[in-house]
């Protein structure tokens, strides 16, 4: 294999490759696999990056790319939620033009944006984490390719604080069950290897074993429940990722990179579209059941329950967008009661908890349930 | 040199495997989060049951069993009625305009369920193997024993089952009840009437000398006439498990009722104020000789509901 041939003469071959350079240092300067494919030129023959006259040009190029990327980024930050929100209003209105216009007239842009962020934060952080993790892996290995993979270039021009913020957002918005996946993705994005823990292998091994044992000890009740319920995926998702985090950093063989770069880029795009559909169709307004009846007490039995989203209320009418479609204008004196209802999408898949935190809750949701622990489903919601 | 080469190769393979596995797990997690829950939900069961879409839930209750089910000022009250209200509210029927209480006598409980006159029966309905062939039961929601109620004039004379066999005493019970079968088993001659209330009225009129029924029902009559009657503890040796009767052709509704009874049971176990405990304290509690707890319901299905994620502690 060419890599082996290239590294056989490389005195640094046994050393681990350096972490992903978030400062503009060409990867060729530090990686043992930096030589072009099939080349037998040892890596030591490469002119050190700091001394290279091309370094300055590279810096300039990178600065320009960063500036362009920054513009694109802020355009996306403003544009994507705006477009998504308008799309959501159209879907919420059931595709009816007049209903869409009614929603546009009554749902404020700030509410719309806040609603969008509430429901899309998980998707957004997932995409960012995937891009940066893959970018980290591709960047440390992709310099062998003639054209550097897209994610690798993105990862390089993105400031570290933004990458860290993306992981932080994932930490608080992802379901607890998926949080262990953040370990290998974080290690991949920042190219963190166990060698950073301690220079002595024995101490390193001890630290890793102790940390992993402590982690498993924390999860024992959950793993036991999952085993009893025959749920294999939650066990795998909780146990395996921390182990993967130990090995995930480092360059990949060229043949893998060639396959991985286009496939993962396409996959992330497909996943983005696939996962965006439910986000677009998530309601903008909260689901309620409004009990409506004649104002006189004698007709207590003739009450009607309207399930839908309250668009607006004024002195005369309450405007309700019904769950099954259509808008109802209900005179306010006819409204007898109103309750907030959960939607069926909120039903959990698992009966597993991690120390009383449901595995499908995010840290934010779990903490929220600690603040308001009683959850009552009103009879009218059934 | 070769050692470092082999180490590098090993590291390369390990990295490849780790990246592949991480991608695989990520994909599996993504697919999993988009799937429907494996366990049936309360909403699904509701859609399967015959009450789905019904504007009103019809519940069969007694109207002549003080503390358990009676009508006072036109309003149904009692332990059974409170349990019925809790189940109805859990099923989506809250408020008097959504529940129709249908008065059923002891012997009419099974025909009322079979004939579709009521959707549920919560009326001191003992769970027995024979009855299980005709209706379904959810529960038990109460465990009681069979006792005997005697008027003060016989309080020293009727103390044992042997005394009940004495032909000079006329022992009364309601027809179609488990008590009737139990007394027959102990060779106690009985006079069978429609309801226990008829027995009590007969005793007060001097027509009968004692009445046998569930302790819960008899406690109601003691509560109604505290200076006239006394409950005598007799070793009949059987426990009556009271359950909620459901039409045999509607297993989804049975599952739902069992699920909500269990929910109340779990709340009680966690030290919270359960609907059962509230109903008990307001009705039976002060009148029973020993404190009772909600029994664990049997055959409770595993269902998911909206409040499953709420903290338990």
Residue A30 lies in a domain: no
Tokens of B56: 């009103």
Confidence band for A145, pLDDT divided at 50, 70 and 90:
low
CA distances from A138 to A243, B105, B265, B276 (A): 21, 78, 55, 61
pLDDT in tens, A303-323: 788 889 888 888 888 999 988
Same structural domain, A253 and A119 = yes
Q: What is the pLDDT of residue A301?
A: 56
On whether the CB atoms of residues A265 and A15 are closer than 8 A, the answer is no
DSSP code per residue over A247-312: HS-SPPPHHHHHHHHHHHHHHHHHHHHHHHHHHHHS-SS-EEEEEE--SSGGGTT--EEEEEEEEE
Tokens of B101: 């209480």
Same domain, A130 and A274: yes
Do both A128 and A177 map to the same domain? yes
pLDDT in tens, A57-115: 455 676 777 777 778 777 877 777 778 777 888 888 888 888 888 888 888 778 777 87
A42, pLDDT greater than 70:
no
Same domain, A177 and A319: no
Residue A136 neighbours by CB distance under 10 Å: 28
Name the nearest CA neighbour of B148 among B157, B135, B139, B138: B157
CATH code of A293's domain: 2.30.30
Q: Is residue A366 part of a domain?
A: no
Give the whole-angstrom CA distance, residue A300 versus residue B95: 10
Q: What residues in B contact A251, CB-CB < 8 Å?
A: 12, 15
Residue B43: list chain A partners with CB under 8 A.
344, 347, 382
In the beta sheet, which residues pair with residue A304?
Answer: A292
- Provide the 10 A C-beta neighbour count for residue A50: 8
Looking at chain A, which residue has its C-alpha nearest residue B28?
Answer: A233
Q: Are residues A116 and A158 in the same domain?
A: yes
Q: At what angle do helices A254-281 and A109-141 cross, to 10 degrees?
A: 170
Residue A43 lies in a domain: no
Residues A146 and A178 in one domain: yes
- Determine the structural domain holding residue A163 and report its residue range: 54-193+249-281
Q: What is the pLDDT of residue B255?
A: 92
pLDDT of amino acid A16: 40
DSSP state of A1: -
Partners of A260 on chain B (C-beta within 8 Å) are: 19
- Delimiting residues of CATH 3.40.190.10 domain(s) in chain B: 42-144+242-305, 145-232
**Mean pLDDT, chain A, as a whole number?**
77
Are A179 and A299 found together in one domain? no
Residues A93 and A64 in one domain: yes
User: In sequence order, which ranges of A142-231 are alpha helices (DSSP H)?
Assistant: 150-157, 160-173, 182-189, 201-228
| Residue A27 located in a structural domain | no
Distance of alpha carbon A363 from alpha carbon A77, whole angstroms: 24
Mean per-residue pLDDT, A334-338: 86
Max CA-CA distance within chain B?
111
Indicate if ipTM > 0.90.
no
Is residue A75 in some structural domain? yes
* Cα–Cα dist A341/B92, whole Å: 12
pLDDT of residue A298: 53
Pick from B26, B28, B304: which is nearest to A347 by CB?
B304
Is residue A352 less than 8 Å (CB to CB) from chain B? no
Specify the 3-state DSSP secondary structure of A343: coil
Nearest to B91 by CA among B124, B131, B126, B138: B138
φ and ψ at B248, to 5 degrees?
A: -65, -20
DSSP conformation class of B238: -
Residue B77 structure tokens:
């009250």
Q: Which of residues 65-124 of B touch A (CB under 8 A)?
A: 88-95, 97-98
- Are residues A269 and A149 both part of a single domain? yes
How sure is the predictor about A32, in pLDDT bands with cuts at 50, 70 and 90? very low
Report the gap between the CA of A216 and the closest CA in chain B (Å).
18
Per-residue model confidence (pLDDT) at position B84: 93
In which band, very low, low, confident or very high, does the pLDDT at A376 lie, cut at 50, 70 and 90?
confident
Q: Given pLDDT bands bounded at 50, 70 and 90, which one contains residue A236? A: very high
Residue A322 Cα to chain centre, angstroms: 32
Residue A86 CA to residue A112 CA, distance in Å, equals: 9
Q: Chain A contact for B300, CB < 8 A?
A: no
* A361 lies in some domain: no
Structure tokens at A142: 């992709």
Whether a cis peptide bond, with omega within 30° of 0, leads into A210 is no
Query: Contact B27/B291 with Cβ under 8 angstroms?
Result: no
- The edge-to-edge listing of strands for the beta sheet with A304-313 is A327-331, A317-322, A304-313, A287-292, A335-340
Residue whose tokens read 């350096």 = A18
CATH number of B42-144+242-305: 3.40.190.10
Residue by residue, pLDDT tens for chain B (313 residues) are 555 667 777 788 888 888 889 988 888 888 887 777 778 888 889 899 998 888 889 999 988 888 888 888 888 888 999 999 999 998 888 878 888 899 888 888 889 988 889 999 998 888 888 888 889 999 899 988 888 888 888 778 788 888 878 888 888 888 777 788 888 887 888 888 888 888 888 888 888 888 888 888 888 888 888 888 888 887 776 788 889 999 998 999 999 999 999 999 988 887 778 889 889 888 888 877 778 888 999 989 988 888 888 877 6
Cα–Cα dist A46/A34, whole Å = 9
Q: Record the tokens describing residue A21, joined without a space.
A: 């350079």
Strand partners, A175: A362
Nearest by CB: A14 against B7, B32, B98? B7
Q: Same domain, yes or no, for A274 and A296? A: no
Cβ of A250 within 8 Å of Cβ of B30? The answer is no
The architecture CATH gives domain B145-232: 3-Layer(aba) Sandwich (3.40)
DSSP-derived secondary structure for A232-247: HHHHHHHHHHHHHHHH
Does residue A364 sit within a domain? no
Q: Do A304 and A173 belong to one domain?
A: no
**B26 vs A: CB within 8 A:** yes
pLDDT band (50, 70, 90) for residue A299: low
Question: How many domains does the structure of chain A reveal?
Answer: 2
pLDDT band at residue A4 under the 50/70/90 scheme: very low
Domain match, A127 and A274 both: yes
CA dihedral B129, B42, B90, B292 (to 10 degrees): 40
């Amino acid at each position: 294999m060419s890599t082996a041939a290239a590294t056989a003469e490389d005195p640094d071959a046994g050393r681990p490759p350096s972490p992903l350079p978030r400062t503009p240092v060409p990867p060729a300067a530090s990686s043992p696999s930096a030589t072009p494919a099939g080349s037998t030129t040892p890596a030591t023959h490469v002119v050190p990056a700091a001394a290279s006259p091309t370094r300055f040009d590279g810096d300039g190029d990178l600065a320009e790319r960063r500036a362009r990327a920054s513009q694109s980024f802020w355009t996306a930050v403003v544009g994507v939620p705006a477009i998504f929100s308008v799309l959501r209003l159209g879907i919420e209105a059931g595709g009816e033009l007049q209903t869409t216009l009614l929603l546009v007239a009554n749902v404020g842009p700030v509410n719309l944006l806040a609603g969008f962020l509430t429901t899309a934060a998980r998707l957004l952080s997932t995409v960012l984490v995937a891009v940066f993790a893959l970018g980290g892996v591709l960047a440390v290995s992709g310099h062998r390719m003639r054209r550097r993979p897209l994610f690798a270039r993105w990862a390089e021009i993105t400031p570290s604080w933004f990458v860290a913020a993306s992981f932080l957002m994932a930490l608080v918005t992802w379901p607890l069950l998926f949080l262990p996946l953040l370990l290998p993705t974080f290690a991949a994005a920042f190219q963190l290897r166990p060698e950073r823990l301690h220079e002595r292998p024995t101490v390193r091994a001890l630290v890793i074993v102790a940390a992993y044992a402590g982690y498993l000890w924390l999860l024992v009740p959950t793993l036991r429940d999952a085993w009893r319920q025959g749920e294999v995926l939650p066990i795998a998702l909780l146990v395996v990722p921390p182990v993967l985090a130990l090995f995930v950093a480092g360059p990949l063989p060229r043949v893998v990179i060639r396959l991985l770069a286009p496939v993962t880029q396409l996959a992330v795009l497909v996943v983005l579209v696939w996962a965006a559909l439910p986000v677009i169709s998530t309601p903008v307004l909260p689901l309620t059941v409004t009990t409506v009846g004649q104002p006189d007490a004698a007709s207590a039995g003739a009450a009607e329950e309207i399930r839908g989203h309250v668009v607006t209320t004024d002195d005369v009418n309450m405007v309700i967008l019904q769950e099954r479609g259509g808008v109802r204008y209900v005179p306010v004196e006819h409204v007898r009661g109103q309750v907030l209802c959960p939607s069926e999408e909120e039903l959990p898949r698992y009966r597993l908890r991690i120390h009383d935190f449901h595995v499908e809750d995010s840290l934010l949701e779990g903490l929220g349930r600690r603040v308001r622990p009683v959850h009552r489903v009103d009879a009218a919601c059934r | 040199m070769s050692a470092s080469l082999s180490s590098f190769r090993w590291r390369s393979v390990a990295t490849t495997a780790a990246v592949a596995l991480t991608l695989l797990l990520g994909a599996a997690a993504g697919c999993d989060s988009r799937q429907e829950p494996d366990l049936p939900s309360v909403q699904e069961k509701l859609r399967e049951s015959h009450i789905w879409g019904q504007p009103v839930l019809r519940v069969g209750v007694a109207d002549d069993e003080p503390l358990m089910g009676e009508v006072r000022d036109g309003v149904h009250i009692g332990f059974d009625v409170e349990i019925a209200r809790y189940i109805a509210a859990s099923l989506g029927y809250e408020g008097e305009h959504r529940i129709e209480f249908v008065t059923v006598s002891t012997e009419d409980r099974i025909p009322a369920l079979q004939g579709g006159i009521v959707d549920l029966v919560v009326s001191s309905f003992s769970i027995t193997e024979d009855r299980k062939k005709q209706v379904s039961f959810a529960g038990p929601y109460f465990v009681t024993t069979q006792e005997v109620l005697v008027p003060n004039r016989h309080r020293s004379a009727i103390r044992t089952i042997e005394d009940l066999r004495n032909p000079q005493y006329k022992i009364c019970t309601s027809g179609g009840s488990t008590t009737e079968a139990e007394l027959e088993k102990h060779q106690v001659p009985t006079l069978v009437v429609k309801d226990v209330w008829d027995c009590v009225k007969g005793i007060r009129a001097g027509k009968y000398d004692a009445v046998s029924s569930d302790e819960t029902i008899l406690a109601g009559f003691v509560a109604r006439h505290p200076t006239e009657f006394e409950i005598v503890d007799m070793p009949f040796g059987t426990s009556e498990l009271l359950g909620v009767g459901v039409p045999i052709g509607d297993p989804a509704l049975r599952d739902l009722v069992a699920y909500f009874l269990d929910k109340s049971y779990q709340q009680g176990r966690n030290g919270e104020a359960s609907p059962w405990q509230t109903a008990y304290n307001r009705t039976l509690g002060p009148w029973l000789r020993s404190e009772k707890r909600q029994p664990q319901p049997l055959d409770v299905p595993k269902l998911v509901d909206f409040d499953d994620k709420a903290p338990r502690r």
